[in-house]
Structure 1
Amino acid sequence: MAKSKIVIATNPFRDDEQKFSLNIIKALKDDGHLPVLVTVFDDTNKDNVMFDLEDAAKDASLIISVGGDGTFLHVARRVFSLNIPVLGVNMGTKGFLASLEGNEIEYIRLAAKGEYRISRRMLIDYSIIRSSLIINSATAINDVVIKSDISCIGMSIFSDDAKITHFSGDGVIVATPTGSTAYSMSAGGPLVEPEASNLIVTPICAHAMANTSFVLSPQREIIVLPERLNGRRAFLSVDGQEGISLNQGDRIVINKSEQELLMADMGIRSFYTTVFRKLSH
């Protein structure tokens, strides 16, 4: 069997002293693979040789994220454009994205051999348009959130050229199906199968009857107009990252991305089993 380069991207705040990751490395070496260890959220170079994630991922056949869903998002955001499958190992709490648990190392060994199914996940692109100029744009795995800091603001939301809702509230979440189990769910949004292709629009603490989610076709273009910002602060945040300040008159355009995230699915638990187990505790 040809040796496969496998990147282990570990969160040292979840994987104490990298004990679990080092066990993975030993098992993969025993199986004839070439494991490379990368530490995320920490610049400390201990006794192990560390590599930059993007450099380490070159020519890799699989990337293993060790941590929680936050770790998985951090890793996936940096490598999805490389079209290398990402496998999540949960060392955190909920773990909707990190599908394996820390006691399932045998499945990691199978994944390193290529014994997994590719789960293709839809992504979304956004642009902030200010005075006819794009001032910021990026791609989201889970969601794009437009939100005030503490004040109630207005929101007008369009699907293509049709206004679908207008409300006063804290903001709005535009999520992918993968992100439907994250902030969108906490705000009352629907659960959507993660391999579906939909745009999910969920108001945050909207007044009156406007507190209704919309599940839209991936062909739609969503336009969000934050209103009544004079003297109020509002921000756009992508996948829980630091917010970008918005101004009155800004226009946020959101579309299905041409890129996608490849996830390694071991097929040991269905989406519904995972949701039931995670949400019943």
Structure 2
Amino acid sequence: MIVALLPNLDKKDAPQCTQEIIRRLHRFDMQVWMRVSDKRESFAADRWVSDFYALLSDCDLVITVGGDGTIIHEARHAAVAGKPILGINTGRVGFVAGLEPDELNLLSRLAEGAYTLETRIMLRAEFESKSGNRQIDALNDVVIARGALSKIIDFDVELNHTEMAHYRADGLIFATPTGSTAYSLSAGGPVLDPTMRGFLLTPICPHTLAGRAIVFTENACLTVKTYSTTQAKTFLTVDGDSAVELENGQQVTVRRSPYAVQLIKLKQNHFYKIVNQKLTES
């Protein structure tokens, strides 16, 4: 079995954790392939690969080491490659992590095949840019929100090409069930079971007494147009990555992505117990 090991070495405990993971995987006769950019003398990887997409294509599964941001980022790539992924948490919260650093003994279950796969849906944001049509997939959320100026924005939202609602707000969050415990939760949205097949629309600071989150089926297609009568800028961000500035009146379509993340589960977790524990700790 070939494992693509993708650590975020900027995390404090990630190098030591990565070294221990390699040692344990070798004990189970598993090959460890890593990116050339992560090369260190202390890492006894079996192969160093310069082509990231070839690395994902040739491996059997992916293990990533870092916080939620790292795991989410690598999970999007793994989903496109059709490979399952295991996240090992060296960050603060670790909602999408499958293991903590003190649980590496459970890696033996990979070699034994004693694990399950949990499917997580993703969203796709589609819009026109100067370079043409762009499509970006999100495991957590798609956010359309104002920039630095404290100016409210108008949003027209259509559901399946039919007018649905008008919002005056700082922004809108389109969140997957996985992302329901992230920014959407902070904005007053509900927590969804991560295996649900649907998604959320949660307004950010809506200028209304009735601005509540709405849950849609997985087949819903939402179209958003943004308007501002001031010089305030509007940005689109996906999973907290770099923002894309939107033009006044520009249209963004949000729907379920054709790709889905397959999270490797090596132990039985009670989701709501984890939510209470993680949010209390953070």
In the alignment, structure 2 segments of 5+ residues that lack a partner are none
Q: Percent identical across equivalent pairs?
A: 29
Q: Structure 1 residues 45, 266: CA separation in 2 closer, same or farther (over 3 Å shift)? A: closer
In the TM superposition, what whole-angstrom CA distance separates every residue of 1:204-249 from its partner, at most 9, and x where no partner exists?
A: 1111224210001111110111111541100101111101110112
Query: Residue 155 of structure 1 aligns to a residue in which SS?
Result: strand
In the TM superposition, what whole-angstrom CA distance separates every residue of 1:249-273 from its partner, at most 9, and x where no partner exists?
A: 2111111122211111123212112
Q: CA deviation at 1:66?
A: 0.6
Q: CA deviation at 1:194?
A: 0.8
- Name the residue aligned to 2:99: 100
In the TM superposition, what whole-angstrom CA distance separates every residue of 1:159-186 from its partner, at most 9, and x where no partner exists?
A: 1133333221110011111111111111
The separation in 2 between residues aligned to 1:199 and 1:134, in whole angstroms, is 27
The separation in 2 between residues aligned to 1:60 and 1:213, in whole angstroms, is 40
- Name the residue aligned to 2:18: 21
- Name the residue aligned to 2:134: 136
Q: CA deviation at 1:44?
A: 6.0
- Name the residue aligned to 1:225: 225
The separation in 2 between residues aligned to 1:180 and 1:202, in whole angstroms, is 10
Q: Is the 8 A contact 2:7 2:14 kept in 1?
A: no
The code of the aligned residue for 2:276 comes to F
- Name the residue aligned to 2:81: 82
Q: CA deviation at 1:83?
A: 1.2
Range 163-172 or range 235-244, more displaced: 163-172
- Name the residue aligned to 2:243: 243
- Name the residue aligned to 1:173: 173
- Name the residue aligned to 2:40: 46
The separation in 1 between residues aligned to 2:93 and 2:191, in whole angstroms, is 15
Q: CA deviation at 1:127?
A: 0.9
In the TM superposition, what whole-angstrom CA distance separates every residue of 1:63-90 from its partner, at most 9, and x where no partner exists?
A: 1111110110121122211111101111
Q: Is the 8 A contact 2:2 2:59 kept in 1?
A: yes
Q: Structure 1 residues 227, 130: CA separation in 2 closer, same or farther (over 3 Å shift)? A: farther
User: What is the CA RMSD across the aligned residues, in angstroms?
Assistant: 2.1
The separation in 2 between residues aligned to 1:125 and 1:188, in whole angstroms, is 23
Query: Residue 192 of structure 1 aligns to a residue in which SS?
Result: coil
Query: Residue 279 of structure 1 aligns to a residue in which SS?
Result: helix
Q: Structure 1 residues 114, 229: CA separation in 2 closer, same or farther (over 3 Å shift)? A: farther
Q: Is the 8 A contact 1:65 1:98 kept in 2?
A: no
Once the two structures are superposed, the pairs formed by residues 1-281 of structure 1 within 5 Å of their partners are: 4-16=1-13, 18-38=15-35, 43=37, 45-47=39-41, 48=43, 50-52=48-50, 53-129=52-128, 135-149=133-147, 150=149, 151-228=151-228, 230-281=230-281
The separation in 1 between residues aligned to 2:134 and 2:86, in whole angstroms, is 30
The separation in 2 between residues aligned to 1:99 and 1:105, in whole angstroms, is 10
Query: Residue 209 of structure 2 aligns to a residue in which SS?
Result: helix
Query: Residue 236 of structure 1 aligns to a residue in which SS?
Result: strand
The separation in 1 between residues aligned to 2:56 and 2:16, in whole angstroms, is 21
Aligned residues: 274
The code of the aligned residue for 2:191 comes to L
In the alignment, structure 1 segments of 5+ residues that lack a partner are none
Range 62-71 or range 260-269, more displaced: 260-269
Range 139-148 or range 220-229, more displaced: 220-229
Q: Is the 8 A contact 1:6 1:112 kept in 2?
A: no
